[in-house]
Structure 1
């Protein structure tokens, strides 16, 4: 039986799976939102609701704000929906504009406050349930971040805060200065992105000394009741139907194992891939990135699948392509 989400333990009735909305709104350009974009949003939303998803993940940069605009229009067309779902968005990335040579990360007070105001305007809502700081900013002043979050909380614009792509040390630095707890850490985790598991096994092993996933991050979040969210949990379909021509042997073998388990358990490959994450006792919440209604529906029931320890390890070792010591 799956453990309750840390979010649930905090009284937030979040679904076991979340829908990531990066694919809504069309291209990453400045073209206006179209009627077809709105239709796609309704279809993705309905597919998500049909499998029990009530948690929707945005960011101010997704399709340059158009993903949030799509949801804002949906709220206008479906009165009462806003209060039935949980909205999460992110800030802190500034995309390149003409004349720029790179994207930037910006955790300045001014940028955080302006980003949230933009998100609220596009969504057409008065508050965000959870705001994540999107990626670490090397120039971050934690005292400045603390002041921004304090203002957002006091104004009622944001109810809870979290981070994305941060290590335990980075979270600890923010916690030193911020009054509000950080209740989410969203990380890249999937059956294809397994460095978060490798980090557990890397202690005192020379061949893994260059592992980049920060040791102790998963453990810190678990100890602090911080919700671990997995972005990219479906690995872009790598194990659930994507053509595998040219893929390495470990990927091909893992896809075969996933299909065999799906057949054995009378479910879909997508559900098996998600169940691998959700079997972990950290109570990981996958944030699926597809907006294809059929693929969303294929994720249904993943939270009802039980993988044995043997099945979990077989998938892990198959993916990494190297036996355990």
Structure 2
């Protein structure tokens, strides 16, 4: 029995020495082994007592032997089970190690990816700052342009306001001239579009003299010129324009003067100071004596821009008015 107990103790000790790394998972097994050791110690005690009492040993020997055999069988079964558990634990440990290896590989990949993302984030941050600086510079530039545009807009509005005031004054001046022309028509009973043309020096206080260049020769005029005059006197200004225009284009200084007068008054056509000036300029070049007087009046009411335009067209030979 002592030899059997020693054998069991040696087996258990050998198993324990082989599985120190699995102590945490074999706590229950160790408890069982400890219980078995206690049982074996109890047997040793009983064996010692049996040596003192041969009779008791003889009586109980068979029973103890059977018990020992059963315990041995149980121990062998337990050891086999422990071996199986140990093999399974080793296999599981290998699987866990492989799993840990795979997880470690994934962690390394994730660290590398994190490093790449960090670099990309840093580059993106640098790019964002550069873009922000660029946008801020563009914003400053746009603000300056906006301020400049606002200043220009204010200047344009001021210029437009001055232009409107000048146009209003010019319109009032035109109305005064037209009113004077109509007054002259009634006062002197003139029948020509150039009525009211006052000769140089006629603004004196004692001025009662009106020079009507055309009226002196108008009784001698016949044909289309006279037909246009009659249409004009009937207030059929469109008809007068249609009669005089072909004659003016053909070089008739009288017709050229009349067309200029119609554009000046805005009768039969839309009022156009520039076209009026150009027709009167052609009439003046053709030798019409009344044209310079009306040209002088036009210059007083025309803006600098309008005077520049007519001078440009005259200089560039683009002075032929169109319908």
TM-score range, shorter chain: under 0.3
Computing the radius of gyration over CA atoms, which structure comes out larger, 1 or 2? 2
TM-score, scaled relative to structure 1: 0.18
Name the structure, 1 or 2, with higher relative contact order (CA <8 Å, separation 6+): 1
Considering fraction of residues, name the structure with more strand: 1
Considering fraction of residues, name the structure with more helix: 2
